[in-house]
Structure 1
Amino acid sequence: MQDENCIFCKIAKGEVPTSKVYEDDTCIVFDDNDPLMPVHTLIIPKDHYANIGDGVPEETLGHVFGLVGKIAEMKGVTEGGYRVLVNTGDDASQSVKHLHVHILGGGHMPRPNDQDWGPAATNAAKYGYC
């Protein structure tokens, strides 16, 4: 199943060029066009699912996440470490509404709890947001 208006579906069908890292029958893996780290690679299923909670079959999720270690090794970030991230929905800043897994690496990243999360954070009072 595909969404004809989804940029990631178009990438999966080969209609939009990308810097492909890996491809199989289920997934395509490519480097992010606007990287946040020296390594910023996305794994997407070829079938369209809006997010991780959109009824994705377990075998598809297993395959997507099963590729993480392989791709991290291909990208050379297994030694220093890497972050795996899935944004789900608007509050999580999901920019493309197609399930995708980010692999980020190639340098030091702060821990998520070392960042200022703004007024929605449980520690908002500490920062004067409320």
Structure 2
Amino acid sequence: MDCLFCKMVDRDIEPDIAYEDDHVLAFHDVNPQAPTHILIIPKKHIATLNDIEEGDLALIGRLQHTAARLARELGFAEDGYRVVMNCNDHGGQSVYHVHMHLMGGRRFTWPAG
């Protein structure tokens, strides 16, 4: 498998780690869209949101819990932040390994675009 994020999990590529546990890896985005932009991924390879199975539900919940935890630790939870998950080409997914974008440190507008 030639998955960029799996290579980061395996440390074939060294990410700029913001958080890690046995199931989740969070690292700073190389092309940030906000003062803080962190990608949160499951260490298990799941290609898209469409591929999440019932047995993955707790793992996907850990991504959200990690986002909230990091937002608190980084000091922007109270002001607010954006969490985004893209799915497939029309949804803007560019790496086919489920991931959550945590962005904070500025005001966001809606619609997202």
The TM-score, its normalising length taken from structure 2, stands at: 0.91
Instruction: Write the distance in 1 (CA, Å) between the matches of 2:87 and 2:74.
Output: 24
Does the alignment pair 1:23 with 2:20? yes
Instruction: Write the distance in 1 (CA, Å) between the matches of 2:13 and 2:80.
Output: 30
1:128 match: none
2:40 aligned partner, one-letter code? I
DSSP-derived class of the 1:35 partner: coil
Instruction: Write the distance in 1 (CA, Å) between the matches of 2:52 and 2:84.
Output: 19
Structure 1: runs of 5 or more not aligned: 118-130
Instruction: Write the distance in 2 (CA, Å) between the matches of 1:63 and 1:88.
Output: 18
1:32 to 18, 29, 38: 29
1:45-73 CA deviation, whole Å, 9 max, x = no partner? 01111112212411111111121210111
Instruction: Write the distance in 1 (CA, Å) between the matches of 2:18 and 2:40.
Output: 9
Instruction: Write the distance in 1 (CA, Å) between the matches of 2:49 and 2:38.
Output: 17
Instruction: Write the distance in 2 (CA, Å) between the matches of 1:98 and 1:31.
Output: 16
Runs of 4+ more than 6 Å apart: none
DSSP-derived class of the 1:41 partner: strand
Does the alignment pair 1:42 with 2:16? no
2:3 match: 6
Structure 2: runs of 5 or more not aligned: none
2:76 aligned partner, one-letter code? V
DSSP-derived class of the 2:102 partner: strand
Aligned residue pairs: how many? Answer: 111
- Larger RCO of the pair (alpha carbons < 8 Å, separation 6+): 2
2:50 match: 53
DSSP-derived class of the 2:50 partner: coil
Give RMSD over aligned pairs: 1.3
2:108 match: 109
User: Which structure would you say has the larger Rg?
Assistant: 1
State the percentage of identical aligned residues.
36
Per-residue deviation at 1:18? 1.4
